[in-house]
Homo-oligomer: A and B are copies of this chain.
Amino acid sequence: MQGTPDRPSSAPDDRWRILRTQDDLDRLGETESIFALSNGWVGWRGTLDEGDPCDMPGSYLNGFHERRALNYPEDGYAFPQLSDTVISAPNATLVRLWVGGEPLDIRIGTLRTHEQVLDLRAGVVERVTEWISPAGQGVRVRSTRLVSLPRRRVAALDWTVEPLDDAVDLRICADLLANERVPQRADDPRAASIVHDPLIAERHHVDGADGVLVHRTEHSDQRVAVAVAHRPSAPDQIAISTDATPDRIRLTLAGTVAPGERARLTKYVAYEWVPVDGTAAVDLADQVTAEADAARETGFTTLLAEQRAALDTAWRTADVVLEGDEELQLAIRFAMFHLIQAGRPDGASSIPAKGLTGNGYDGHVLWDTEQYVLPVLTYVAPGVARSALRWRYAHLPQARERAAELRLTGATFPWRTIGGQECSGYWPAGTAGLHVNADIADAVLRYAGATGDEKFRAGAGLELLVAGARLWRGFGHFTDDGGFHIFGVTGPDEYAALVDDNAFTNLMARRNLRGAADAAERYPEAAGRLGVDPAEVAGWRAAADAMVLPYDAKRGVHQQAAGFTSQPEWDFAGTGDDDYPLLLHFPYLELYRRQVVKQADLVLAMLRCPGEFTAEEKAANFAYYEARTVRDSSLSAAPQAVLAAELGHLDLAYDMFAESVLQDLLDLGDKTGDGLHLASLGGSWLALVQGFGGMRDDRELLSFDPRLPDRIERLAFSLCWRGHRLLVTLTTEEARYELPDAPADTAVDLWHHGEQVRVVAGTPVRRPMPQVPDFGAEPTAPPGRRPTHRAAAV
């Protein structure tokens, strides 16, 4: 992209660029997700400017959705009757081009060159295409897109066309288009539910070259406004006109462009949505128009500079240096880029499972956010983690109502939602997944511990912890032997449901109960306002202390849930490669009752609650469950990587890490077209930091027990800890801990391999790398289910 006069120029650095060319055109949907841009508020899928070919258009606004009815063949009490589903705001990315009357379409004519680049430092997608029409007329099209990180409502597109040789007759139509057709995916329970023509036009207005559309939704009662301010720059002979209908604003440039000339068009776009009973349509139109105008005033060059500056700041903490494997170095940066841009630090908004990169899972937020994304963002962008937790807090009243509807105590947060209501249409794997409440509590405790944010801890944090503790205390029960049990719930593993004493749920509930008790004792006055008294706190502690962790003494392993190890084994010998993912080829009747694990469950418990297990128990458990875990979920590889690393199976850990971080770049699950797997991308950071860095955060201080696989020569990452950036650098010889940005006498205490050390600003602490633990040979995976050997792949 060098040489464009009004853009910052720099030598391309392939360690920071994702490139796709004409060789990748058969992966269109995947490419659209990978090149998606977002600022946590607005998301643009990486569709082609000309809009066709397109796998799935998408312009998402965080929280903007429609509602649809859920119909059950056999309904039941408290089955959700409505579900939120993400819908697109009007699409402002479109710049259609006709060359000598032929539409630019890279599938026809001659594609001389075609590149799309995601620049991870600039925060833009650049595109250049040289195309010769079927009639032989050649053009070069360039564009640069950004979704502004500092300006939450703003996105912009800078688009240029020039003749390759002879003068060409051009028509350029820059559209803002509502109710664009979205394709229905084939039958797959994980795909989105499409609502056609969801937007009802309220207002459309054109002013010169600019325009605004206002629509509302039919059922979710939301209003959305999009304004486009155009800056065309074209030879004088080019005629410019606009036209508007309720669903489309179009700016048309038409005329002949001579060799050496070019036509350029910059679109400055501003979005906003509000509840329909909020801002009126005309006022909302004015707001976004003003914001688009302001962006145009600012100019594209400045927007680029702002973007770069924002990313420079973000990367200081978020970057991970991984030397020894260029592909994965780039992949982890790609992962971190998408995590950075998925959330915003300044409000109460969450991060859907696909971010704003696609409509998979109907655009819902799931427990993935608290267990796979916030454990990363807490350390690299704590303000974003706080925003996501404040979003949960904002929906606490709904969670309390839902608990009351379910005849439960405390609060039950939805398994999947956009607007805060439970949207799960299959309760055994949705509503019964009560662990989401403990996952939220865990994220609260992590955020509070890492930041020391007292205001949050004594306010929203306390209230969330108390609501969770009340749920668990009421839901669980004591048996005659004094044990405290949680029966009839579903843990992380979706090849089991409605089990008793799921180890993950029980341990995380214990963490919630104790965390709430600690917080209530720390802030007695605030707790008192919530009606918490010492007797209630004592009840939480009693339940936590008596919490049962099912164990099979004969096999010497913990049970994922009570009775798990008595279940029949899965017939792996009779299961073919084509039978995966199992959920598409076997009924739940078979999956639920057998010892087959979709995704890390007890292994995730060992990651989140490491102090509850001895090293020997971890080794035995890991081997047992590794042999039964098929990894049909992208949530699985990362926790497996962490435990594999902890137990010294470093090659396995590295291969698991690779699978997690390449999930979307290689479309390993064949679902990337529906949006990126943010949990898998977040998990890849966990695999590095918690796996090879051996970081654990279940105690007062961070601890590290680093061990590097052969392939990694150097691994460096940063963690925000109580307001300071702790930089950890690992090589085969040593671990170095330092506070590069902190004032002179700042000190941070941490654990390194069982030794408590104090890191003082300006004085890096160096320790030799610990011996890699030896728990014998790598455990065996089910046939064909081990991740690809990365060492062999090199």
Contact = CB atoms under 8 A, between A and B. Distances in A.
Interface of A: 70-78, 80, 83, 187, 189, 405-408, 424-432, 477, 479-480, 485, 487-489, 497-498, 500, 554, 562-563, 566-568, 583-590, 592-593
A568 to B, nearest CB: 4
Contact of A428 (B70, B80, B428, B566): B428
Contact of A589 (B189, B406, B480, B593): B406
Nearest to A555: B480
Interface of A is mostly: loop
A487 B593 contact: yes
B428 A189 contact: no
Given A428-B428, A480-B554, A554-B480, A74 B587 contact: no
Given A485-B566, A563-B562, A72 B589 contact: no
Given A74-B426, A77-B583, 14 more contacts: A70-B73, A73-B426, A74-B424, A74-B429, A75-B189, A76-B189, A76-B426, A406-B589, A427-B587, A427-B589, A428-B428, A487-B568, A488-B593, A562-B563
A77 B585 contact: yes
B73 A425 contact: yes
Contact of A426 (B72, B77, B424): B72
Contacts of A431: 587, 589
A114 to B, nearest CB: 38
B83 A73 contact: yes
Contacts of A426: 72-74, 76
B485 A77 contact: no
Contact of A592 (B75, B485, B498): B498
A423 B456 CA distance: 51
A479 B189 contact: no
Contacts of A83: 73
A310 to B, nearest CB: 38
A450 B431 CA distance: 48
A24 to B, nearest CB: 31
A593 B589 CA distance: 18
A432 B76 contact: no
Contact of A487 (B76, B427, B567): B567
A487 B500 CA distance: 14
A315 to B, nearest CB: 39
A497 B566 CA distance: 18
A408 B485 CA distance: 33
A10 B485 CA distance: 68
Contacts of A408: 589-590
Nearest to A426: B74
